[in-house]
Amino acid sequence: MKKLKFWNGRGHGKYVRGHMNIAAYSQKHAAELLSKVIGGTIGIYEIKEYYSNCWGNSMKDITPTAPGVWVEEEPHTTTGKVTQII
């Protein structure tokens, strides 16, 4: 069974003001998932250079069992709601 890895970083596309959290099997897989969400292309360089390889603080109560992408639409506020996109 593959183990999920976690990344968090800046928003993109219609979520540009948000904060992204990704659960994936590899950096390449994370880039593919994020590309699906934004409807564009995100390269592996984006994940390597601009994403931390950990779960964001807003995700502390969320334990994914499958790959996915979550967005925190109002980061750095007390009302930042986290929504799973895929």
pLDDT in tens, 41-62: 999 999 999 999 888 777 888 8
- Residue 74 belongs to domain spanning: 5-84
Q: Would the pLDDT of 10 be above 80?
A: yes
Domain count, the chain: 1
Split at pLDDT 50, 70, 90, the class of 1 is confident
Q: Which of 21, 15, 79, 84 is nearest to 53 (CA)?
A: 21
Calculate the CA 69 to chain-centre distance.
5
What is the pLDDT averaged over residues 32-48?
Answer: 92
